[in-house]
Structure 1
Amino acid sequence: MYSETKLHLIQATIGLIMEHGLEKLTINKVIKKAESSKGSFYYHFSNIDDLMKEAFLYSLSNSLVEFSYCKEQSFKENLNQFGHYLIKMSKKKSSEYAIMFLWISKCFQDVNYKKQFQA
């Protein structure tokens, strides 16, 4: 699904966000940490926001892959099970969950991202 270079850029982004937060993320920091180039960056992403979205989706897909909805249980039971799953997995895969929660928080705070979710 991801080329090696794209995956390195995404993983570097996750690492930088975990170390310094979303606001201090720059293209130059990402390409330096990923040991890549600006050309490679722009081949895979149009801008830093595009990269952050991809890092979020990568984290999301790696975080929730083990959870499954049980049709035999009520919505409340599934929601409760999901909450327990999130707590348990956030300890195991802390960086992926931190990225996921940071992104969700950013989407509620940033008008541009909020509009994308309302569409």
Structure 2
Amino acid sequence: MTTRDDVRALVRRMQECFNSRRFDQAADLHTPGFFSHPLGTTGFEEGKNAWRALVARFPDIRVIAQDIVVDDDRAAVRSTVEGIGVADGEAQPMLFEIFRIDDGRFAEMWGASAGFPPAASPEDVLT
């Protein structure tokens, strides 16, 4: 059984993989049938490609979880995004993600973003 603390640690490990650019290690945190609703893809290979695209555009980008709420097999995560230039006085961009966990790994993900400069949101960068 995966505990709430296990899920919180899983989210933090994933973000550390992103922040340290260890994308291949993050693949082990996802089930083989992982489905990304924002990307519309199965498996984590496209997720790694998306991460590479974001880092290519924003080399200093970092994601830091502010809230991780766990309920049964779901985790809701609110994260700040650093390393993307924003105007003085503007809030840091945010990511909002919901994950379904299966046997201690990410099985499914939904996501949205807010506060990114025009044409700099993950959705814009990846299209």
What TM-score, normalized to structure 2?
0.30
Which is richer in helix?
1
Report the TM-score when normalising by structure 1: 0.31
Quick check: which one's strand share is greater? 2
**Structure number, greater radius of gyration:** 1
